[in-house]
Amino acid sequence: MQSTAFRLSPPLPSLRSPSLHSRRSGACYDAVRASAVAGSPDDVPPGLAARCFPPRRWSSVSPSSSSSSSRLRPWSGVGGFGCEREGRSRSLEARATSVPEAAGDGEKSGSVARTLELGLLFGFWYLFNIYFNIYNKQVLKVYHYPATVTMVQFAVGSVLVLFMWTFNLYKRPNVSRSQLVAIVPLAVVHTLGNLFTNMSLGKVAVSFTHTIKAMEPFFSVILSAMFLAEIPTLWVVGSLVPIVGGVALASLTEASFNWVGFWSAMASNLSNQSRNVLSKKVMVKKEESMDNITLFSIITIMSFIIQFPATCYLEGFKFTPGYFELAVSWIKC
């Protein structure tokens, strides 16, 4: 807490002569300057000190006339000096102590707001993921071309990214060539992860695909230990045991089980967690790092560029109006 102190300065040569002081009874103090100091005397502007605390002359009362030690009494008739300064001192103390409390309240409110924001983002993530998987399964049931579906999804994402950058809805990145070279492996594994997920959704039930994808923490721990040298603790390893056991039990009892859907989901786990590990390695250099939205936007555009020739090679041009009409006829049947 900052407190208000009063300082007695030595006499100035421009004030009254000592002969006048000697005619006063008792000991005298010449040119007493009282200045309110907060931490350091130099912190107070000279104009403020002169205006608030004008020069006073004080006399010392002898110890015999006071029950306690000697005290200072002003010669001038300006009243209220002690009360006024005491009130100002108390107000200064009140303001000094109230600032940390206000800062603490601001930090608490900011922490609560961030927690609510994070919870809201998790809720939207799960909600959109549920609808995405349901609609994906419905499309793949009548349109049996997972590579084409994956390419169309990347194309829509690329259009949205370019729309945001064109109309300044999000800051357009300034990416160097070295950053683009580092992002290419991320785009490759991101493309493979989405392609394998769609292949699995086309072969088995949505619930079974996501049961297999529950193995992602297992692959994340293994890849982090291999490429980031992050050795897991015994608690982490122990937490993976029920996950692996649950996936194995679900695979044995799944009615729609087939090996293509199973291995596609496992390959999706490996690809997605490789993307996460590589993303961490790319963003570890602070001087060359970029925010998550920009990184994901660039990966989406690169994935479309990679997926387009791969789709044409694997499935041909299955996105013509004739094939869409065929899919519609399958729906009506």
pLDDT per residue over 63-74, tens digit each? 444 444 444 444
In a domain, 223, yes or no: yes
Distances (CA, A) of 69 to 65, 76, 139: 10, 22, 95
Q: Tell if the pTM clears 0.75, that is, is over it.
A: no
**Is the pLDDT confidence value at 216 over 70?**
yes
Minimum mean pLDDT among 140-149, 193-202, 320-329: which range? 320-329
**136 has pLDDT over 60:** yes
58 belongs to a structural domain: no
pLDDT at residue 168 above 70? yes
Residue 264 within a domain = yes
Query: Dmax of the chain from CA atoms?
Result: 121
Q: Per-residue pLDDT tens for 82-110?
A: 444 444 445 444 444 445 555 566 677 77
CB 119 within 8 A of CB 188: no
Tally of CB atoms within 10 A around 104? 10
Q: Is residue 131 part of a domain?
A: no
For 74, the 3-state DSSP assignment is: strand
Q: Is 61 part of a structural domain of the chain?
A: no
Q: Is 17 helix (H, G, I), strand (E, B) or coil?
A: coil
Residue 259 lies in a domain: yes
Q: pLDDT over 70 for what percent of the chain?
A: 62
Residue among 329, 211, 333 at smallest CA distance from 266: 211
Q: Is 120 a domain residue?
A: no
- The arithmetic mean of pLDDT across residues 274-284, rounded, is 75
Higher pLDDT: 281 or 135? It is: 135
- How many other C-beta atoms lie within 10 A of the C-beta of residue 219? 19
- How do residues 220-244 score in pLDDT, each as one tens digit? 898 888 888 888 889 988 998 998 9
* Neighbour tally for 196: CB within 10 Å: 23
Q: Are 261 and 196 in contact (CB under 8 A)?
A: no
Number of structural domains in the chain: 1
Let me know if residue 84 belongs to a domain: no
Instruction: State the burial class of residue 302 (Cβ atoms within 10 Å of its Cβ: 0-12, 13-18, 19+).
Output: buried
- Domain span at 316: 136-332
